Amino acid sequence: MKNTRRYILIAEDSRTQADMLCYLLNQAGYETTVVESGTAALDAIRQRKPDLLLTDIVMPGMDGYELCTIIRSDPAIACVPVILVTQLYDPEDVIRGISCGANNFIIKPYDSTSLIAGIDAVLQPRETPEEKNGILRLQYKGNLYSVKSDRNDILNILLSIYGTAVSKNVELEQATDRLNVLTESLEELVVDRTVALQRTTETVEHLLMQKNELITKIGHDLKTPLTPLVALLPHVQKHEQDSELKEILDVLVNDVNVLKGLVEQILKLSHLNQESFSMETADISITRVINEVIDGYTFSIKQFNLLVHNHIPPGCIAHISPFHITTIFDNLISNAIKYNIRGGTITCRVFDESDFWAVIITDTGIGLTQDEASRVFEEFYKADPSRHDHSSHGLGLSIVQRIVMFYGGSITVSSPGKGMGTTFQVRIPKTVIT
């Protein structure tokens, strides 16, 4: 977009950050002035009204939220667009921002493209919403907020955050490719036994540590922009009346949930080491856990008209971490739903095998070839193109296998062939295995 020397006031107490913003905005054709506090920003606005205020949130004295609130309450300067610059660690940051009337967020760290795009989105002419004078009431963590930003501003904010989430997802996919290379390197090292066994062992341990650290870092980095999206998108979607905007929000909600699921699975996988199994175990009813998991997928079960039969009696008690047994059956039940046919069935049975319960979960879904069945427990493996949907990350069964093996149990899979369903058998201990 070609700028005609629009004037942007920058409120930033960090000289380094202020200089960087001035440089990027001047390069893009904007005129800029810098002040170092909220009070100074108000004085500057009243002397010369800017086309836009770009303000940091954390400043000495008056912070960005208070500055925006005062601007919106003064009729003489209430029309000045305000963009908050933030690291966005918590959904409450977003809620406080739209409550004080902010028009958009710029998320640190930012690049010139995202910075200019965020500013252009606010400065573009827009139609006045019919509900311009309406105030949205939003409750979060027991606090009631009055949201003064209009729906276009809220959508701009969410799209800005979503753009950051997508870029982080690209980084995650690139990291996954690097992890696959690391995994192949590990396999070669194991096969290539040498006299220097100790050196090889140290190399493998170092690579594994790097792998887990990389997964954890990327996962936590991706959680930052996802947190406000998960909190706010469903609420905005529920109250949106415009059909076109609602369609956009439907796509955003679905994609954000996919990203959230991927991050959770990645972090679970990286934390499944010896230390992560130090959590307390307890006597857990297998039937109760499976029923709770099934209840959680009620919508999907009804959507695909599936019949679910749980034939496991209440007396089947396993001694295991509640978190781990829920993880096991959540993955197995969700797979049975995801890869079933419309109008199909899912059946849960159990056999007594001395110190173990052998739980059998059978579906009438798309089935597996012999080669696919031999690889389903590999990390990031997806059996065939029909399984390559965005909500499947190829990690769930690998996580289940790690948990089950830690408790001394086992998991196997069998299928008569494509289109003939799949059966998983998981052996869970009745007592503690030492």
Per-residue pLDDT of 120-153, as tens digits, reads 878 876 544 444 455 666 555 667 667 666 667 7
Looking at residues 255-279, what average pLDDT do you find?
Answer: 59
CATH number of this structure's domain 7-136: 3.40.50.2300
pLDDT, position 387: 45
Secondary structure class of 209 (helix, strand, coil): helix
Instruction: Tell me the pTM.
Output: 0.43
Closest CA to 159 of 224, 89, 253: 253
Q: If you write DSSP's letter for every residue of 346-405 in order, what string do you get?
A: EEEEEEEETTEEEEEEEE-SS---HHHHTTTTSTT---SGGG--TT--S-HHHHHHHHHH
The tens digit of pLDDT for each residue in 60-70 reads 889 999 999 99
Rounded-to-integer distance, Cα 405 and Cα 199, Å: 27
> Which CATH number applies to 277-429: 3.30.565.10, 3.40.50.300, 3.40.50.1100, 3.40.50.2300?
3.30.565.10
Rounded-to-integer distance, Cα 21 and Cα 55, Å: 11
pLDDT at 320 over 70: yes
Residue boundaries of the structural domains of the chain: 7-136, 158-271, 277-429
Rounded-to-integer distance, Cα 257 and Cα 239, Å: 19
pLDDT band at 247; cut points 50, 70, 90 = confident
- The structure tokens listed for 71 are 């601007």
Who wins on pLDDT, 83 or 96?
A: 83
Rounded-to-integer distance, Cα 338 and Cα 304, Å: 9
For 279, residues 6+ apart whose C-beta sits below 8 A from its C-beta are 321, 323, 324
